[in-house]
Amino acid sequence: MANDMKKLKIVDAHHHFWNLSENYYPWLQDTEEKHFFLGDYTELKQDYLPHDYLQDASDYNVLATVHVEAEWDRNDQVGETKWLQEINKQFGMPNAIVGHVWLSAKNCEEVLCKHRQFELFRGVRSKPETALTSDHAKPTGIGSMHDPNWRNGIAILEQMQLSYDLRVPYWHLYEAADVLGPHTNLKVVLNHTGFPWDRSKNGMKAWRQAMKAIAACPNVCVKISELGLKDTPWTVDSNRRVVLDTIDIFGIERCMWASNFPVAGLKVSYKDQLDGMIEIMSGLSDYDLQKIFFQNFLHYTFLLNFQFCEYYLIKKHPSLTFSLLKLIHFP
């Protein structure tokens, strides 16, 4: 399979779109994010829309995608979901939406109900307050994982059967395990491989220990994505250990691939990233590769929808329909 990428069925579990002439993204149009993890992101300050993605992914058999909130204007949190639903009508993608809500806000449940008016909405990414480095004191106030209101927002997600995308650096994974682990009916998706930014021997050891802590929660799966580093090129050799350790820690069944495009494009092309991932995973069986790139998405996140099932499976891949329908849990 590694030699025939067209045969590998792919769901891209994490990417972004933005239209800067029509919509408002403060971090791309106004305020510069001082501590952006990949450094200078000037190249991102231009539209990235379905035709751009399809061009980037043209060499591969991408059957569906998940759009994760892209820090759209926080005064109009549901606006992004509404816009993406319209984009889907035009282009057939994205096929699921992970939106934003302030988990600690009093109107958290009200905003979630508005999101749920749109059929592609499946979950939330709401970044808690975090420390810049492992040496900094961890936030404990409003918006942190220690905030009682933030924790109440997590409970609301669980009650509403929505997923939660966790985006924190690895030094916050212990507290994430403590906070999210007890919510056993909440589907938690760890973003970007837990951000293994420190590739020193001690840094990798600390990352592995933290990943084991969060992986001990059976309701958590992980996106193998965004391995870019601020001052280091993206290479197979530099990322091999991270990918293989992640698979070892979480197991094949709880790993999903995601591109994080266009952000990841600051450090690597779509082709080089995906080809590199396949090279790193070349020791896996075709069956296990298909799990990571396609099947686990259906099984561990309830992001699938009837539209995807009808169009991509019944019309484009009728032979897959019966076996995949058995894996699907519709919210």
Q: Where in the chain are the domains?
A: 5-325
The string of pLDDT tens digits covering residues 38-86 is 999 999 999 999 999 999 999 999 999 999 999 999 999 999 999 999 9
Exposed, middle or buried, 256 (CB in 10 Å: 0-12/13-18/19+)? buried
Q: Give the mean pLDDT of 88-95.
A: 95
Contacts of residue 283, Cβ cutoff 8 Å, sequence gap at least 6:
none
Q: Give the mean pLDDT of 186-194.
A: 96
The total of other beta-carbon atoms located within 10 Å of residue 219's CB is 19
Q: Give the mean pLDDT of 288-295.
A: 95
5-325: CATH architecture: Alpha-Beta Barrel (3.20)
Q: Considering all CA atoms of the chain, what is the largest pairwise distance in Å, rounded to the nearest integer?
A: 53
How far is residue 127 CA from its own chain's centroid? 12
Contacts of residue 61, Cβ cutoff 8 Å, sequence gap at least 6:
5, 6, 7, 8, 9, 10
Residue 165 confidence class, pLDDT cut points 50, 70, 90: very high
The closest of 102, 120, 121 to 111, measured between CA atoms, is 102
Contact 331, 218 (CB under 8 A): no
The string of pLDDT tens digits covering residues 124-163 is 999 999 988 888 878 888 999 999 999 999 999 999 999 9
Q: pTM for the full model?
A: 0.90
